[in-house]
Structure 1
């Protein structure tokens, strides 16, 4: 059965809800940090939506300085926590190998080599002072218990770890301890940061994964550390399909997706694409474009080429157009072609900031593998065209060159 997802978390067979604020540490798993300082974004242009106060806003004219921007190498520490009521059955080396180097490789490929996630995985278990059951770890985690867990973990390892050296903290619990609930894996954002080694710890990735873990789980959680939103649709009653917004097409929608590479819009936000890689389509009429496949590696010399086309449709909305193919992080994709999706800068994480346009609404694909078959065949193939409802923009895939680039014709009506 396909799993479900929760704010700042990952897909699970059961629902994982965000916890409430606690007295000494206010953890904001669903609502986010207070608005951080704006950092100029020289990659922005006329088609870049402005950043809003929405949690993990997809506006990208400025960067939220409360988050580390992965436009440079970042250092992460992975700390393994044991408990007095359980002897670990899995070694720290085995647990580290569950996540690295695969997570670093995911981001290296997604960033075209422009970002390196450098993990320092501790080799020893760090004993926690209380039994695993004492923390009442669960998907709906009581605030005081979670506060105690975080405080105890940092205090237990502080003599061995210099937190001032790291940009990201992963706390990995012994998966076989009786009180550990895998549904509790998430990023905890701290309005009142912890302090260790003179460093403010603003967020922690709490990992309670089984061994082996869900695929791409740490890439999803690390995306939140970089201010990326959840892209799934969360039914109000917890029932129904969670993948109706983006299907397989981004790891922030589903870590189980067949094509989990990050959308071009995300890559633009993170600084891995800049204005030289983005085509802003503004004028009415027809324009012929050439797009490189999003997940394809750069050509010789590190040239990334044109990867994303954007049509601004309103003050806070845009259409994004990109090519997806079976390479890199998308090597297991169900279909290849030109993908169209809507972006909204005022939609918070989990509220549909991105919606993939289904250009084949009467069909589906890969029902046995896809997280949401109706969107598995969403891209347009060569010779196909589609007029986006409500926008009037028409996208036609003219050709795919021997080198793999996609020739795309975009037509905007006079009133776009």
Structure 2
């Protein structure tokens, strides 16, 4: 029998303190912008994911679950730098007559999820879904599997085995990179809080294909927004960025708020962080700037979610300051476009990255550059971080590291002119 690990309990710390000051920059925005091309000669571009020479700003991958080290790719996961094929199988149960159709449930997730990843990857990745048109009947009642968020391993194993066996007659699993199992949302034993990716310590072999992980979907109809994009992110070795309180109570979104779908599928700005895009291979050495200190550097950042100019390449989307053996500061621009079209605030976002932190343990923490204010109370999953980005004319010194970020200008095309000053190393 395959052993399937119990879900992890995720705990995070507190958001770092800090403050923002508005200051007139030493030169005008226009003059500041004109220096970018000259200053860029002093910058070091980061490498592509998995390159043997990762560069000074790429954190090394560690043994942490879904480590955000990106000097190498974890071959246990499919890399979304090409087209991948997924199959979506709809499961019914003897104790319940479905009230929806497979077609209706498929439309809850596709083409929306594929569109999300196409935009996020700048067209570098295509998720092709084969949504099966019929119900696959499970051999047992829905209540027999005791489906819940923290699921008994033996019950979960039985569910997976029964589902794959029931579908095997109609599905050639050897054709697919990803398997989605979607349960009838109206069956009495189905718990909508149980949706997750199950990682198998020992693969289940079907049609000669070793299945290492399965996305189990128990969503209501209609489902949570972007839920399948979040779960599919785990299939690509991305971590949970939310904080799961030990008692299940309290706020889950204190570390990244609305920023990145791996924090909350309800977020106003669900575009994957630039660091995640670097890890997945959607950003390469031409779009990542490594700021090596001490000293000041000037550069331009295009909004992370903006599509490439027609016929052109993706511009600079991420700046990184290495702060330790396993830590870094990441700086990126977020604008109201693409997957971020409903963002609460546009500006330059700063966040900390830790390669030793496991999924759910705070591998990324957004720096709140406006700690005394909140925004979008009626829409945000965590208003204290909804206004985290810096706007034009604002300056912020990151607590602990002393790195200073100044936003000088925003061009008509939407790019942000940024100055980063790294202090001398303490003796």
Decide which moves more: 337-346 or 294-303. 294-303
Q: In structure 2, what is the equivalent of residue 27 of structure 1? A: 5
Q: Which has the larger radius of gyration?
A: 2
2:285 matches 1:275? yes
Q: In structure 2, what is the equivalent of residue 92 of structure 1? A: 102
2:137 matches 1:127? yes
CA contact (8 A) 1:28 1:191 kept: no
What is the aligned counterpart of 1:200 among 210, 233, 245? 210
CA-based RMSD of the aligned residues comes to 1.4
User: What is the distance in 2 between the residues matched to 1:133 and 1:285?
Assistant: 63
Unaligned runs of 5+ in 2: 11-48
Pairwise CA distance, 1:361: 0.6
How many pairs align? Answer: 388
User: What is the distance in 1 between the residues matched to 2:222 and 2:51?
Assistant: 39
Unaligned runs of 5+ in 1: 1-22, 33-38
- State the SS of the aligned residue for 1:169: strand
Pairwise CA distance, 1:26: 2.3
2:96 matches 1:118? no
Q: TM-score, normalised by structure 1?
A: 0.91
User: What is the distance in 2 between the residues matched to 1:156 and 1:332?
Assistant: 41
2:139 matches 1:139? no
Q: In structure 1, what is the equivalent of residue 34 of structure 2? A: none
User: What is the distance in 1 between the residues matched to 2:155 and 2:365?
Assistant: 36
Pairwise CA distance, 1:193: 0.8
2:412 matches 1:402? yes
Q: In structure 1, what is the equivalent of residue 267 of structure 2? A: 257
2:40 matches 1:62? no
Q: In structure 2, what is the equivalent of residue 333 of structure 1? A: 343
Higher RCO (CA 8 Å, separation ≥ 6 residues)? 2
CA contact (8 A) 2:6 2:152 kept: no
- State the SS of the aligned residue for 2:204: strand
Q: In structure 1, what is the equivalent of residue 112 of structure 2? A: 102
1:309-358, CA deviations, whole angstroms, 9 ceiling, x for partnerless residues? 00000000000000001000000000000000000000000000000000
What is the aligned counterpart of 1:380 among 390, 398, 403? 390
Q: In structure 2, what is the equivalent of residue 10 of structure 1? A: none
What is the aligned counterpart of 1:75 among 85, 93, 116? 85
Q: In structure 1, what is the equivalent of residue 174 of structure 2? A: 164
Q: TM-score, normalised by structure 2?
A: 0.89
2:273 matches 1:295? no
CA contact (8 A) 1:68 1:226 kept: yes
- State the SS of the aligned residue for 1:123: strand
1:183-224, CA deviations, whole angstroms, 9 ceiling, x for partnerless residues? 111000000110001010000000000000000000000000
CA contact (8 A) 2:408 2:417 kept: yes
- State the SS of the aligned residue for 1:276: coil
- State the SS of the aligned residue for 1:275: coil
User: What is the distance in 2 between the residues matched to 1:108 and 1:267?
Assistant: 12
User: What is the distance in 2 between the residues matched to 1:28 and 1:282?
Assistant: 41
